[in-house]
């Protein structure tokens, strides 16, 4: 059962949205909320079984008096030809694209030193290049002449992303891409913003990390000021807000939806070590040595 939207029903009547990764987790919650608000939604991702299951489930949210509808297109956002097909088929079906939500993406967990070039490229191609391809195609084929609104889902990479350096680099790049496009496409009436979620639990997000998944999400909890994980239904209202006329003067911005997690603690442990280069000798280093000598016997 999808959470009830706090927005006015009919807010997106007659509008058309593409949501990449719209069949699972955060994307599914975004799709469900857009449908409740009257939007016609195209969900796009790689796995047809997931798309079909989401269409079956989410179409039940549509009440008979609503203009909403849901359809699916198989699309790997890493492939330019498939992105072209996703946009062309949406335009053939609905004749317009008002909103694009670049939510499809992800990564695996690994120390940077162990990442193969293929693994690095898979994550950069998905999260950075895939987002770029979707933005460019939607802009060139529709928004350039008609305006529109784009939301990019990024991540909490504000202090780097140890353990997932590839995705940290890709998401930071998307944040910067968002700013560039906000300026380049302003004269077409295109607004584009990002949302940076904290740790958001869904079954599919957890299963992506296989056996590590439950532990990874559990480990995040003490580092979240709310002392609990977030849920997809806590991201979708922020997306709907940024798509809506309520955000008509907001572009090039990033909204953190993380309960303050990005301001707080890190999961990444740095073991005690003495590997760091010594500081330059001088009066302050001498003074600290003296202080430490005095403190030691008391400890
Ligand atoms: C500590 C707090 C944690 C809390 C939450 C963390 C915050 C972030 C959360 C999220 O983003 S949750 C969303 C999770 N969902 C996804 O990530 C879904 C999408 N992900 C994927 O599809 C994959 O992870 C992918 C790697 C991005 C792409 O997979 P694809 O199937 O297209 O490529 P593969 O052929 O499988 O892999 C290519 C290449 O990548 C390397 N690789 C893949 N998986 C791993 C792994 N688990 N460990 C190490 N390396 C991996 C590998 O080199 C693969 O090539 P081959 O070796 O298979 O030839
Ligand atoms: N959950 C969290 O804590 C956080 C999530 N995020 C990001 O939010 C987004 C949604 O993740 P979430 O819902 O949590 O996890 P999910 O794993 O449920 O969602 C990822 C979605 O992306 C789709 N996807 C992955 N790769 C591609 C691709 N190459 N082409 C098209 N679609 C693709 C997947 O569908 P399919 O496999 O069918 O292609 C899936 O629907 C992702 O970008 C994620 O990295 C960011 C910060 C935190």
Confirm whether 5 is domain-assigned.
Answer: no
Residues for the chain: how many in total? 299
According to the model, what pLDDT value does residue 297 have? 72
Domain residues for the domain of 184 are 16-259+269-295
Q: What is the pLDDT of residue 106?
A: 98
pLDDT-derived band at 296, boundaries 50, 70, 90: confident
70 found inside a domain: yes
90 ligand 2 Cβ < 6 A: no
Q: What percentage of residues in the chain have a pLDDT greater than 70?
A: 99
Please check whether residue 184 lies inside any domain of the structure: yes
C-alpha 86/C-alpha 64 separation (Å) is 27
Ligand nearest to the CA of 217: 1
Task: Tell me if 11 is assigned to some domain.
Answer: no
Whether the Cβ atoms of residue 26 and residue 54 lie closer than 8 Å to each other: no
* pLDDT at residue 201 tops 90: yes
How would you write 244-257 as a 3-class SS string? CHHHCCCCCCEEEE
Residue 192 lies in a domain: yes
* Domain presence at residue 289: yes
- Residue 8 in domain: no
Rounded Cα distance between 149 and 189, Å, is 8
Around 136, how many Cα atoms within 13 Å sit in the side-chain half-sphere? 12
Q: Which atom of ligand 2 is nearest to the CA of 46?
A: 39
- CB 20 within 8 Å of CB 75: yes
147: alpha, beta or left? (left if phi > 0; alpha if psi -120 to 50): left
* Average predicted confidence (pLDDT) for the chain: 97
Number of domains in the chain: 1
Counting Cβ atoms within 10 Å, is residue 28 exposed (0-12), middle (13-18) or buried (19+)?
A: buried
Q: How confident is the model at residue 299, as a pLDDT? A: 59
Ligand 1 atom 50 nearest Cα:
119
What's the CATH number where 251 sits? 3.40.50.720
pLDDT > 80? residue 63: yes
Lowest mean pLDDT among 7-11, 19-23, 119-123, 124-128: 7-11
Residues contacting 242, CB < 8 A, separation 6+: 149, 151, 191, 193, 195, 250, 255
- Ligand 1 environment, Cβ below 6 A: 106-108, 110, 116, 118-119, 122-123, 126, 155, 199, 205, 208, 216-217, 219-220, 267
Query: Residue 275 Cα, ligand 2 centroid: separation in angstroms?
Result: 38
Q: What residues form DSSP beta bridges with 158?
A: 160
Q: Which atom of ligand 2 has the smallest separation from the CA of 199?
A: 3
Write out the E strands in 154-276.
Answer: 190-197, 254-257
Q: Does the residue 9 lie in any domain? A: no
CB 109 within 8 A of CB 161: no
């Amino acid at each position: 059962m999808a959470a009830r939207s706090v927005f006015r029903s009919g807010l997106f009547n007659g509008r058309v949205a593409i949501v990449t990764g719209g069949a699972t987790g955060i994307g599914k919650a975004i799709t469900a909320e857009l449908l409740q608000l009257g939007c016609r939604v195209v969900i796009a991702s790689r796995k047809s079984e997931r798309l079909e299951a989401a269409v079956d489930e989410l179409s039940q949210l549509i009440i008979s008096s609503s203009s909403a509808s849901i359809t699916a297109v198989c699309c790997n956002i890493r492939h330019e030809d498939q992105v072209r097909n996703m946009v062309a088929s949406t335009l053939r079906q609905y004749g317009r694209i008002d909103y694009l939500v670049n939510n499809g993406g992800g990564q695996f967990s690994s120390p940077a030193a162990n990442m193969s070039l293929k693994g690095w490229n898979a994550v950069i191609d998905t999260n950075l290049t895939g987002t770029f391809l979707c933005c460019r195609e939607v802009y060139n084929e529709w928004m350039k002449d008609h305006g529109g609104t784009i939301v990019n889902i990024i991540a909490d990479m504000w202090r780097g992303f140890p353990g997932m350096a590839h995705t940290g680099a890709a998401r930071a790049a998307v944040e910067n891409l968002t700013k560039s496009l906000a300026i380049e496409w302003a004269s077409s009436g295109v607004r584009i913003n990002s949302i940076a979620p904290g740790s958001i639990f869904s079954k599919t997000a957890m299963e992506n990390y296989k056996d590590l998944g439950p532990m990874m999400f559990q480990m995040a909890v003490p580092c979240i000021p709310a002392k609990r994980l977030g849920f997809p239904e806590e991201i979708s209202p922020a997306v709907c807000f940024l798509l809506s006329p309520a955000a008509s003067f907001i572009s090039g911005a990033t909204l953190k939806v993380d309960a303050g997690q990005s301001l707080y603690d890190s999961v990444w442990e740095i073991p005690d070590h003495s590997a760091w280069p010594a500081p330059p000798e001088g009066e302050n280093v001498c003074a600290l040595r003296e202080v430490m000598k005095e403190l030691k016997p008391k400890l």
